[in-house]
Amino acid sequence: MGQEAAAVGVAINLLPEDTISTFPRDLIPLFIKGLPLEELFAQPFNAIASSSTMAAQLNLATGADIASKANHSNKIAVIFCNRDYTSHSAWQEALRFAGIHTLPILFVSQSTLPAEPALLDPQINAKRIPLKTKSYSFPTITVESNDAVAVYRVASEAITHARKGEGPTLIECQSWQAGDPLLNMEKYIIREGLFSEKYKRQVAAGFLEELDSAIELAEKTSSAPLI
């Protein structure tokens, strides 16, 4: 909950040939990158996020980046990770390796806290210390990801940085359940004159039709109903 802006703000910057790595059930980045809903819902939903899953995803994304750099291509890789897994050895090793070899890769750590920053007690606030960066030798940026525009701007700079061959970036996205990024974005685009209630209804109706069709197709090919 509350992590939609982090996923959208990063993934919307990507090109079709870029590599993206997410945890099971983390469908938003894949959808934004262009994977059809039918294919998303055809994935096994009983997959459980684990340290071994994360290690495999890190290896795949890092391998794609090594190949990209060797071929002097413009491709990059983005790895999304829950903050709970960022202390795992596989994540730490991937960060160090990417920094040493100046890989075109973007690491995105996501965390959700229960209240607005001003309402947190000192003990919870103490846990907001940014991820360690001294041994990685590349930029780390912390952004409050209830704001999709802020995430987009930070991600755009990091992705440009990677495409120029200047190495990786770690973005730590912190979101607050009290600040729904969907409502924040809606208010922003209405204020900018880019959105209306009529258009909102049209988009919602079209998407729900697409969603229902994808779920129906996936359930026909699955042994269990989708929830």
Question: Are 123 and 181 contained in the same domain?
Answer: yes
pLDDT tens-digit map of 38-75: 888 876 554 555 556 667 777 877 888 787 887 778 89
pLDDT tens-digit map of 117-176: 555 554 444 444 445 545 678 999 999 888 999 999 999 999 999 999 999 999 999 887
pLDDT the model gives residue 220: 82
Q: Which CATH number covers residue 170?
A: 3.40.50.970
Residue 59 structural domain: 4-192
pLDDT the model gives residue 126: 41
**Neighbouring residues of 74: CB distance < 8 A, sequence distance ≥ 6:** 15, 17, 163
Question: Are 9 and 106 contained in the same domain?
Answer: yes
Question: Are 179 and 226 contained in the same domain?
Answer: no
Question: Are 181 and 96 contained in the same domain?
Answer: yes
Question: Are 96 and 159 contained in the same domain?
Answer: yes
Count of structural domains, the chain? 2
Question: Are 151 and 92 contained in the same domain?
Answer: yes
Question: Are 114 and 184 contained in the same domain?
Answer: yes
What mean pLDDT comes out for the span 12-41?
86
Question: Are 113 and 168 contained in the same domain?
Answer: yes
Question: Are 81 and 184 contained in the same domain?
Answer: yes
Question: Are 172 and 101 contained in the same domain?
Answer: yes
Question: Are 186 and 206 contained in the same domain?
Answer: no
Question: Are 15 and 105 contained in the same domain?
Answer: yes
